[in-house]
Structure 1
């Protein structure tokens, strides 16, 4: 089998695990993030004793501990990401709506609508931690299908 097909199958399986068991998927990803960030911080500190390495290493260790101790940190970051994307889409839609660019007004309005939807998804993700792993699972399944077919 090609590596793309194997990657596609693994992505589909992982996506289905996230969809079927959202809490355990979130716990697993949060623990893996935490451990990898802690190890990254330790490696940065040991790699060179410069001020930047020490600061980034300590911050990485702190964020890793947060991911290990607080399972909902992943959903919080996911929600913040949706908020930022929503704000950017809304601003881009407003700017292109009132500019003299050749972009159609329908595209500008659709950017604003997508920004509002993204903003709403951010609120849902912050208030409902189960929402983030299900979205990650759906994304993994779609990506796995694309990898397997392509």
Structure 2
């Protein structure tokens, strides 16, 4: 079996898990977002030692650690994660467009688009964070079906 077909099947299974167990899935999403923010912050700092990269990188690392280890003091941020990520991505994309860093302009535009998408997910998850888990599950299933049909 081709790797793309296996990825499609795994994507569908993961999507179903997200839909069937949204509480568990939202915890997993929080950990994945935390790890992603942590590594994004490190990458941003290492991309260029400018003041803006360092400040945004440190913020990304702090929020990444908070989301990864699910500290109770920030449990109120669960619904706001996507907004925080959106702000960090928008700032990083805008800085990539206006500065002379090694990040390409196309990558900066894609980062800005991902920031906007993150804000849209924040709109769904602010009232109930479980909506984000269900939405991610649906997206995984659609992606898996697309992989199987290729």
- TM-score computed with the length of structure 2 as normaliser: 0.58
Query: Per-residue deviation at 1:58?
Result: 0.9
Match of 1:149?
A: 149
Distance 1:33 1:44 in 2: 16
Matches within 5 A, 1:81-100: none
Query: Per-residue deviation at 1:77?
Result: 5.0
Match of 2:42?
A: 42
Aligned partners of 1:78 and 1:132 also within 8 Å: no
Aligned partners of 1:31 and 1:67 also within 8 Å: yes
SS of the residue aligned with 1:127? Answer: coil
Aligned partners of 1:66 and 1:73 also within 8 Å: no
Query: Per-residue deviation at 1:56?
Result: 2.2
Aligned residues: 111
Computing the radius of gyration over CA atoms, which structure comes out larger, 1 or 2? Answer: 1
Distance 1:143 1:130 in 2: 20
Aligned partners of 2:41 and 2:59 also within 8 Å: yes
What RMSD, in angstroms, separates the aligned Cα atoms of the two structures?
Answer: 3.1
Distance 1:54 1:146 in 2: 39
Query: 4+ residue stretches of structure 1 with deviation over 4 A?
Result: 70-75, 77-80
1:56 to 1:78, Cα distance in 2 relative to 1, 3 A: closer
Structure 2 stretches lacking a partner, 5+ long = 85-119
For residues 20-50 of structure 1, give each alpha carbon's deviation from its aligned partner in whole angstroms, at most 9, with x where no partner exists.
1111111112112212322332344355433
For residues 103-126 of structure 1, give each alpha carbon's deviation from its aligned partner in whole angstroms, at most 9, with x where no partner exists.
xxxxxxxxxxxxxxxx9x93x632
Match of 1:129?
A: 129
Aligned partners of 1:27 and 1:71 also within 8 Å: no
Structure 1 stretches lacking a partner, 5+ long = 81-118
- TM-score computed with the length of structure 1 as normaliser: 0.58
